A and B are shown apart, each in its own frame.
Chain A
Amino acid sequence: MSPILNAVSYAELLRLTLPEIAVAVAGLVLLALDLTALRRAALKLRFGVGALIGCVGCLIAAYLLLHAAVLGSLPEAMFVITPLTCIVQLALLGLAVLTLLLSTSMKFTANVGEYLALILFATVAMMFLVATQNLLLIFVALEFLSLSLYVLTGFDKQSRQSAEASLKYFLFGGMSAGFLLFGMSLLYGVSGSIELPKIAAAVSGPALDPLLLVALVMVAIGFGFKVAAAPFHLWAPDAYQGAPTVSAGFIASSSKVASFFVFGQVVMVGLAGAAGHGAYRGYAPGWVPVLCVMAALSMVVGNLAAIAQTSVRRLLAYSAIGHAGYMLLGLIAHTPMGTAALLYYVITYALATLGAFGALGSLEAEGVDKIADLAGLYRRAPGLSLCMLVFLLSLAGIPPLAGFFGKFYIFAAALQAEPHLGLLWLVLLAVAMSAVSLYYYLRVLKQIYVVDGARDAPAIQVSLVTRVTVWVLAALVVVLGCAPGLLLRWIGA
């Protein structure tokens, strides 16, 4: 290894990782500042200053991505930056900024600097994750991300639920990392390389090595945990319910974008020759049938289990599992259109979910957890209610919101991928399950808009920053739904 490593030009490395460095430095600065100068300041001020520094870091990184020439790659596919990865990184930065803004109204913790810095570090990990095609770095970045997320989940130290959620997430996550590592080591054993393009060259061929099949199932299991696809979804409901709301939103949005993208990189670039077919009557072994099973299970389990939930956050968690099923369709397609559809879907989904969690977070002080607690919300917080309407209807896939076009696009991509509409069975299942999903989203909206709450319930005070952030998210969902071309132009259809 060493002679190759020596070939890395450090100037080049610095140039390519400049955006990540900016975010990491911002994280360190805000951490240091919070622990020294602002130690005795008011909570609000600390959150305000911290979030501001974090946002500045993210904006500098975004500027670098947009204007400085950071395209290029390092040897061993350690760093491969294409226009597409830049777009995903930009999306991650955007989501990080919105998450930082949402977290400013949190009250449960005094460890402001740590919390905000962890969000930034997780973002750095995700930016690395999408920009590498090297198994080793993928694993390192994934673990870096996971560790940050475990801590973010358990951050509410007074809450037993939070601790339980964190532990569950950690145990399941650790196991999945084991599977993933095992799968990766097998891949290395089969192909003799840890670079995705070289692996692809080594494993392609008409007959698949049985060892390779084991490897790709292991990899699918490992990433299946990450993206919360059934049957590896069990951590999600608990983590979403127990974690601080903003953390849950962050896990559901940003980490989903990054995980799906890297999942796509591994299977589409690294296992390009071992795709197989998932068509009805056209089955061929490979990772596509594995993902087909995962997608079908996720759609069914997620959407059906969501019906029975009484807690809003658990409902969103199960719906997230269902959505992971739809997103897998984009991977199953493994065409350029499939990738574009997946990215459109996962980004708009992230916006809607982050918005829903953000709105819920500002209600948390009022003791809202059960769906029934939302009764009469339209009177107490009309603006927030309207935003919830937008987010939930987008998740349900009602036009003209972004979720609808995402569904249409990803279904179309899946159907186009196989000749003779081979994946029609999966698309029909997806469409049927999306009809089911309207039921539970409407149940929440019914509480908000139809059921009258207590007459004398006071209006809910929401901080300005949160309100603006939630409105921005809602506006994005509407605008991207009405004009999907704005996003499609970037992610290349």
Chain B
Amino acid sequence: MLAWTIYISFLGALAARLSPSRMLARVVALLTAVAGLGIGLVALRHWVPGEFLTVARVAWIPQLGISYHLAADGISLTLVLLTGIAATAGVLFSWNIEKRTQEFFALYLVLIGGVYGVFLSFDLFLLFVFYEIAIIPKYFLIAIWGSAKRGAAGEDAGSQREYAAMKLALYSFAGSALVLAGMVAAWVASGGHSMSFDALVAAHFSARLQMGLFPLVFVGFAVLAGMWPFHTWAPTGHAAAPTAASMLLAGVVMKLGAYGCLRVAMMLFPAGMDPWGFRVLGLGSWREVFALLAVIGIVYGASVALVQRDFKFVIGYSSVSHMGFVLLGLMTLTQIGLDGAVLQMFSHGVIAGLLFAVVGRMVYDRTHTRDLNELGPMQLAHAIPFAAVTFILAGMASIGLPGFSGFIAEFQVLIGTWRSFAWMIAVAGIGILVGIAFTWRALTKAFFGEATLGAVEHALPPITLPETLGALLLLASTLTVGLYPRILTDLILPTLHSPLFEGLRRGAWR
């Protein structure tokens, strides 16, 4: 049944495009997104820990041994749930789109369908197909419906949107080009009989090949996960995108990259993470290189977020910082670190969605400015208290206070880091502190600014019902996982012991 998450998304896209009225398109999109979430929840309800669910496995291109192989394990299911939540919230927060509404929701649902497809594909070729299907809608969503940086208007705003959209599309495509090269090489090296993950894992590539392909594929996917220094598409893309698209970009699209790192690069080429046998600048393996880049990303993203004047860029850079934890967790190669990484994917997806919803929909659509210095005098805490409260809660979740999902995720990543790269924990700690600082700064500047003399009381439109519902959905998700993390860890941990991940369970694995 899980496969229907993909099909209904594409069917929903078609229905939304053909809808005669705007309202109908919105309703169709909402129903489609809710149905996707519902299917995920039903699957969760019937899930047996450690289960591997084959959904479909039929020959697709028999001449090349490529099969249409959809399946789910605990990690897939976690991310399918995240996609359902983010998609539903995204529709709710884009209820007010008036420009080319039908097309907007059609592209939105195509993107969602592609994302579901990636998380459920257990054939490398199929995964890549879905991965690329998700690229093109992103471009159009940003280029057509996006918003510009502060101060830009008219012609300028248009070109900024297009710049951001093109940058994002090219980064994604360049990343996927690396993956394509790695994929072709893996197919040839495995004898060209099958592209299914089980067959590729069983092919036991030579250590030398894995050493070459691992960085290629890992970097290819990590571009989309916002790994420093390939992250620059993320802040501009997030800031320029319409609210729902930023929510999806940060919420699920960046997870595509992280998921690809884990599912393809690490699972298929585990020996690529072994030591090289020599050290350059103190680094002795690809694992250490990428862990270092991840920590740099954590600190760098947070530091840059600290000095932004544009509210959306603050959140954009915070995403880079938080995704650093995902990559760091993956590179620890410990059970707890990997568990934390997957949990952080979920957690960041929900929290970043919430933050972007507050900034893009609740604040920007009402005030038409994202400049923190201009927002301050507006006394938003009084004008739209719901937005302020939501942002406070989301900020608390974002800096990793206990009780929210971010805490349990980052905590596990840090434990894993302690076991694998003890000194990096100090750097990551600095990143967390700076994270608290920029969240606090954004909060006070945007919502609790000093009322300047003579400032008029801004009469802002009240918060609408869809916004409230969307915010509650996301808050409920982060709190549920924060208070009862077993709901997801029971999915993730047994999966890490499945035969597919056998190659990872060695060395520091505990």
A484 touches B61 (CB 8 A): yes
Binary flags per residue of B104-147, CB closer than 8 Å to A gives 1, else 0: 00000000000000000000010011001101100110011000
Q: Which of B158, B180, B192 contacts A431 (CB 8 A)?
A: B180
Residues of chain A contacted by B132 (CB below 8 angstroms): 398-399, 404
Could you tell me the distance in whole angstroms from the C-beta of B400 to the nearest C-beta in chain A? Answer: 36
Which of B183-191, B232-240, B310-318, B494-502 lies at the interface with chain A? B183-191
Rounded to whole angstroms, the CA-CA distance of A449 and B144 in the bound complex is 8
For the complex, is A488 an interface residue (Cβ under 8 Å from B)? yes
Within 8 A of B (CB), among A405-460: 405, 407-409, 411-412, 415-416, 421, 424, 427-428, 431-432, 434-435, 438-439, 442, 446, 449-451
Q: Decide if the interface of chain B is mainly helix, strand, loop or mixed.
A: helix
A416 and B188 in contact, given A393-B136, A399-B132, A439-B170 (Cβ under 8 angstroms): yes
Using A408-B125, A421-B185, A488-B61 as known contacts, say yes or no to A438 and B180 having CB atoms under 8 A apart.
no
CA distance A434 to B170 in the complex (A): 11
- Which positions 57-84 of chain B face chain A at CB distance < 8 Å? 60-64
A421-B125 in contact (CB<8A): no
Chain B positions within 8 Å of A489 at CB level: 63
| Residues of chain B within 8 A of A431, CB atoms compared | 177-178, 180-181
Chain A at the B interface: mostly helix, strand, loop or mixed? helix
Q: Are A485 and B61 in contact (CB under 8 A)?
A: yes
In the complex, are the beta carbons of A400 and B133 less than 8 A apart?
yes
Cβ A442 vs Cβ B166 within 8 A: yes
B130: nearest chain-A partner, CB-CB: A399
Closest to A400 in B: B129
Min CB gap A18→B, angstroms? 31
Interface size of B by CB at 8 A reads 35
Q: Is the CB of A493 within 8 A of B64?
A: yes
Query: Does B467 touch A at the CB level, under 8 Å?
Result: no
Complex formed: what's the CA distance from A409 to B139 in Å?
Answer: 26
Q: How far is the CA of A393 from the CA of B133 in the complex (A)?
A: 11
Q: Are B162 and A446 in contact (CB under 8 A)?
A: yes
Cβ contact within 8 Å between B188 and A412: yes
Given known pairs A421-B185, A435-B173, the reply for A412 and B192 (CB within 8 Å) is: yes
Which residues of the partner chain B approach A421 to less than 8 Å between Cβ atoms? 185, 188-189
Q: Nearest chain-A residue to B191 (Cβ)?
A: A416
Instruction: Give Cα A114–Cα B64 distance, bound, in whole angstroms.
Output: 45
B169 within 8 A of A: yes
> A439 contacts which chain B residues (CB < 8 A)?
166, 170
Contact residues in A for B135 (Cβ distance below 8 Å): 398
For residue B424, CB closer than 8 A to chain A, the reply is: no
Q: How far is the CB of A491 from chain B (nearest CB, A)?
A: 10
Other-chain contact of A438, B60, B173, B181, B187 (Cβ < 8 Å): B173
Q: Which chain B positions have C-beta within 8 A of A488? A: 61, 63
B144 touches A450 (CB 8 A): yes
Say whether B11 faces chain A, with CB atoms less than 8 Å apart: no
A449 touches B140 (CB 8 A): yes
Distance A434 CA – B178 CA, assembled complex (angstroms): 11
For B64, the chain A residues whose CB sits under 8 A away are: 409, 412, 493
- Give the size of the chain A interface in residues (CB under 8 angstroms): 33
Residue B289 interfacial (CB < 8 Å): no
Task: Report yes or no: B129 in contact with A404, Cβ–Cβ below 8 A.
Answer: yes
For residue B129, which residue of chain A has the nearest CB?
A: A399
B41 interface residue per 8 A CB criterion:
no
B43 touches A (CB below 8 Å): no
Residue B174 at the chain A interface, CB threshold 8 Å: yes
By the criterion CB–CB under 8 Å, are A427 and B184 in contact?
A: yes
Q: Mark A42-53, 1 if CB is under 8 A from B, else 0.
A: 000000000000
Residues 258-303 (chain B) with a chain A CB within 8 angstroms: none
**What's the minimum C-beta distance from A453 to chain B, rounded to whole angstroms?**
13
Once bound together, how far apart are the Cα atoms of A431 and B220, in whole Å? 12
The answer to whether B188 touches A493 (Cβ under 8 A) is no
Residues of A contacting B170 with CB < 8 Å? 435, 438-439
Please give me the residue from chain B that is nearest to A437 by CB atom: B173
**B361 CB to nearest A CB, Å:** 22
| Chain B residues in 8 Å Cβ range of A404 | 129, 132
A453 to B317 alpha-carbon distance, docked (Å):
35
The chain B residue with its CB closest to the CB of A409 is B64
CA distance A493 to B192 in the complex (A): 12
Q: Do B181 and A428 touch across chains, with their CB atoms under 8 A apart?
A: yes
> Is B185 a contact of A424 with CB atoms below 8 Å?
yes
Complex Cα gap A434–B184 (Å): 14
Minimum Cβ distance to chain B for residue A469 (Å): 24
Shortest A243–chain B CB gap in Å is 31
Q: Contacts A409-B64, A428-B181, A488-B61 hold; do A399 and B128 have CB atoms under 8 A apart? A: yes
Q: Given the complex of chains A and B, what is the CA–CA distance between A449 and B143 in angstroms?
A: 9
Residues on the B chain within 8 Å of A449, using CB: 140, 143-144
**Are B128 and A493 closer than 8 Å at their CB atoms?**
no
A428 to B184, CA, bound (A): 10
**A450 with B177, Cβ < 8 A, contacts A415-B184, A416-B188, A438-B169 known:** no
CA distance A56 to B125 in the complex (A): 41
Give the CA-CA distance A439 to B165 in the complex, in Å: 11
Cβ proximity bits B45-67 to A, threshold 8 Å, 1 near / 0 not: 00000000000000011111000
Binary interface encoding of chain B residues 152-165 relative to chain A, with 1 for a CB under 8 A from any of its CBs, else 0? 00000010001000
Q: List residues of chain A with CB within 8 A of the CB of B173.
A: 435, 438
Query: A409 to B183, alpha carbons, bound, how many Å?
Result: 11
- Indicate if the CB atoms of A411 and B169 lie closer than 8 Å: no
Q: Contact between A450 and B184 (Cβ–Cβ < 8 Å)?
A: no
Those 6 A-B pairs whose CB atoms lie nearest each other, nearest first: A493-B63, A399-B129, A435-B177, A450-B143, A431-B181, A435-B174
- Having A393-B136, A411-B181, one finds 20 other A-B pairs with CB under 8 Å, namely A398-B135, A399-B132, A404-B129, A407-B180, A408-B180, A412-B184, A412-B188, A415-B185, A421-B188, A421-B189, A427-B184, A428-B181, A431-B180, A432-B174, A435-B170, A435-B177, A439-B166, A442-B166, A442-B169, A449-B144
Could you name 26 residue pairs across A and B whose Cβ atoms are closer than 8 Å?
A393-B136, A398-B135, A398-B136, A399-B128, A400-B129, A400-B133, A404-B129, A404-B132, A407-B180, A408-B184, A411-B184, A412-B187, A415-B184, A421-B188, A431-B177, A431-B180, A432-B177, A435-B176, A438-B170, A438-B173, A439-B166, A442-B169, A446-B166, A449-B140, A449-B143, A493-B64
